[in-house]
Chain A
Amino acid sequence: MKTPIRMLLAGSMLAIPAQVFAAPVEVTLWHMEQPPHRVERIQMLIDEFNAANPDITVSQEPQNWGEIYAKAPAALAAGTGPDMLFAIPDFAPILKEMGALTSLADFVAELDAEHDFVDSTVEAYSYDDGVWAVPLYNMTLNLWYRKSVFEEAGIDVPASWDEWRAAAETLTADGRFGMGLPANKQLYTDQTVYSVMVNGGASELYNEDGTLRFDNPETVAAYDFYNSMMEFSPPDATSWTWGEAEACFASASCGMVMQFTVISTYENQAEGDAADLGVAAIPTKDGSDDNATIAYANAVMLLSQEEAEREASKAFIRFLLQPENYGRFLNMEPGLFMPVTADGAEADSFWNDPVVQEYREQIETVIANGQNGKLFGFTSGRVFPAIAAISAQNVLAETLQSVVVSDMAPAEAVTAGQARMEDLSR
């Protein structure tokens, strides 16, 4: 190229405003919502955000819950981690211990003032003088049944453990199992076991001083009751995860199941009648109406240490929580993800979804049940980091397997369970 032309081009470049050259801030979101329709919904929201914010480019990389516990720390250590990462309460302490998190207390307070978070969802990430993630959606376990099956059997929705067992016994007939309960050494069993425990006065795993109090009469009673219900569960339930339980219910092979939701499968695979689908709070030991359940407040953590990326990530989170967007975000899986903000729970974008409209009664019940949601290890306002290891090793489920599969007495199994927790805590 001849020199005068070069100079002309150089001069014209200088004349162009600087912002034309400013590359957009690129931020990456890792989440574990991998099914294609969820990825598609998140991409739709990302595209809208990117279009409205030309100085920011958000991209998503769906990951798998099965590997994220190993993958995220390795990626962060190698400098290839994301800027935003979805979390559940027992995942956040792992990254916090690595020093990958900085408190988002101010940001969460700002969002709380605008949208009013459900308190328990923020509490799950509030400890050690910080708030380590922004709550995004809630998942709670509920008791699902078919109204027509209950009517035909002449039973009411159980309120106490005795009624629950009697209902399961009555429903166990003609090749049907009264209650689909897992006994696998896996997270689903942790969730179902803890949902029984919280309704039997055994919600606390820790004493005030951080010592374990898993081994107590209430926990033993919960395991004893759970074991007695296994009599009415399919024989292969010792290897179940969520999918098998849901299929058992959808095919009407199980009279009742404990699940976050069955709506999607009931609607799309079983072609069930929305009016016939029943959902209730998990029964309490004594039949009181102080029902509780396990609740997973899913959240998003900010991992980038660069100010520009952190601000860009915050802008995206603000966008997601706006009521006109939030409902569409939650309805990437209608009936599974529940709002964690007051304005989100009333948002048209949430309630206008066709599936949500069809199952409005059930979803309102699920939201109401979630008001008393708890998560083991995150119930007392103090979080002890060892809970991450206890959760990762599925000790609650392991203890149940000792009872159900190895025929150990519940008291003995619970004592062994606490010893195992103490080992993992060292």
Chain B
Amino acid sequence: MKRTMGWNLTLAAGLGFFVALVGLPFWWVVSGSFKLPQEIIARVPTMFPQSFTWQHYDKLLSSSDYGTYLVNSVFVSGLSAFLTLLLAIPAGYAFFRLEFRGRETWYRVILLAYAFPSIVVLIPLFTMFAKAGLVDTRLALIIVNVAFALPFAIWMLRSFFGSIPREIEEAARLDGGPPLTVLRRIMIPLTAPGIAAVAIFAFVTSWTEYVFASVMILSDAKRTIPVGFSGIIGQYQVDWGLLLAGASLAILPVVIVFALIGRWFVTGLTEGAVK
């Protein structure tokens, strides 16, 4: 079917609009982080920097604990994503493949974890963690992040397992493969795009988690980026350059994760297509 010029233009305009909607705020933040303070707060904002400076990054990394917050965030988010996958893959497969009493009920019940806003369980969890000696530990954040990411991850993965043709799995089982071997050798490679999506979801959820990180962690040296950074910015007086530099750096690890896992995501899709 041949598209008309008008239709192409409409599509391009629509695409351009959404690219601008998503991309412009990022451009604003990243380009602003290299501007001199006067240009950042200028009455008429500049789309393209008229000045260039590293001073905000220099100040951020030399006079604050931003580096520590960054390392904490990478550690907490990375481990949270890994543990989420470690638990969600067999759980998702079990909900998909194994027959057991109450399977469908449990499958729905696990999503109840999402029915409660995190603020509702914040204080009870704090008290429980305090009794267990987990307050002010990064382990506490990892446990909370995994607990909150796991239900949705299981849901997503069960759907991905369900999209694999039954014949492929049956062929493997006929060759004598036990369920765990079938999962490891057949199902996991075939659901790589789904696993990548869940990994990204779990990582980003942990990366941006604020409520528990702000209350569970008491000492500065264990804070993650969202909480530590909000403190650096200040309340009454905002250093806008510092804010933009910190926000730009905070995006970076997420972009790297997308780049690394995203490649795997695409590879998984194309491999499936060729086969």
B231 touches A62 (CB 8 A): yes
Q: Mark B119-160, 1 if CB is under 8 A from A, else 0.
A: 000110011001100011000000000000000000000000
Question: Bound complex: CA of A79 vs CA of B218, how far in Å?
Answer: 13
Residue of B43, B63, B136, B218 near A253 (CB, 8 A) is: B43
Residue of A62, A241, A271 near B38 (CB, 8 A) is: A271
Q: Mark A43-82, 1 if CB is under 8 A from B, else 0.
A: 0000000000000000001111111001100110111100
Asked whether A111 is an interface residue with its Cβ less than 8 Å from the other chain, the reply is: no
B236 touches A242 (CB 8 A): yes
Asked whether A264 is an interface residue with its Cβ less than 8 Å from the other chain, the reply is: yes
Specify which chain A residues have a CB less than 8 angstroms from the CB of B232 in the assembled complex: 34-36
- The size of the chain B interface, using a CB distance under 8 A, is 36
- Minimum CB–CB distance for B271 against chain A, Å: 46
B43 touches A252 (CB 8 A): yes
B241 touches A64 (CB 8 A): no
**Majority-rule SS of A interface residues:** mixed
Asked whether B230 is an interface residue with its Cβ less than 8 Å from the other chain, the reply is: yes
Residue of B40, B135, B219, B231 near A34 (CB, 8 A) is: B231
Asked whether B102 is an interface residue with its Cβ less than 8 Å from the other chain, the reply is: no
Specify which chain A residues have a CB less than 8 angstroms from the CB of B237 in the assembled complex: 35, 242-243, 246, 261, 264-265, 333, 336
Specify which chain B residues have a CB less than 8 angstroms from the CB of A70 in the assembled complex: 122-123, 215
- Minimum CB–CB distance for B253 against chain A, Å: 21
B231 touches A64 (CB 8 A): yes
Residue of A40, A61, A265 near B63 (CB, 8 A) is: A40
Specify which chain A residues have a CB less than 8 angstroms from the CB of B239 in the assembled complex: 35, 268-269
Question: Bound complex: CA of A70 vs CA of B215, how far in Å?
Answer: 8
Asked whether B37 is an interface residue with its Cβ less than 8 Å from the other chain, the reply is: yes
Question: Bound complex: CA of A261 vs CA of B122, how far in Å?
Answer: 35
Chain B residue at minimum C-beta to C-beta distance from A262: B237
**Majority-rule SS of B interface residues:** helix
Asked whether A389 is an interface residue with its Cβ less than 8 Å from the other chain, the reply is: no
Specify which chain B residues have a CB less than 8 angstroms from the CB of A74 in the assembled complex: 122-123, 126-127, 215
Asked whether B220 is an interface residue with its Cβ less than 8 Å from the other chain, the reply is: yes
Question: Bound complex: CA of A260 vs CA of B237, how far in Å?
Answer: 10
Question: Bound complex: CA of A242 vs CA of B239, how far in Å?
Answer: 12
- The size of the chain A interface, using a CB distance under 8 A, is 45
B240 touches A336 (CB 8 A): no
Residue of B126, B130, B219, B238 near A246 (CB, 8 A) is: B238
Question: Bound complex: CA of A34 vs CA of B235, how far in Å?
Answer: 9
- Minimum CB–CB distance for B157 against chain A, Å: 34
Asked whether B42 is an interface residue with its Cβ less than 8 Å from the other chain, the reply is: yes
Report B73-128 residues with CB < 8 Å from chain A CB: 122-123, 126-127
Report A194-210 residues with CB < 8 Å from chain B CB: none
Which residues of A line the B interface, CB within 8 A?
32, 34-37, 39-40, 61-67, 70-71, 74-75, 77-80, 139, 175-176, 241-243, 246-247, 250-253, 259-261, 264-265, 268-271, 333, 336
Which residues of B line the A interface, CB within 8 A?
37-38, 40-44, 63-65, 122-123, 126-127, 130-131, 135-136, 214-215, 218-220, 227, 230-241
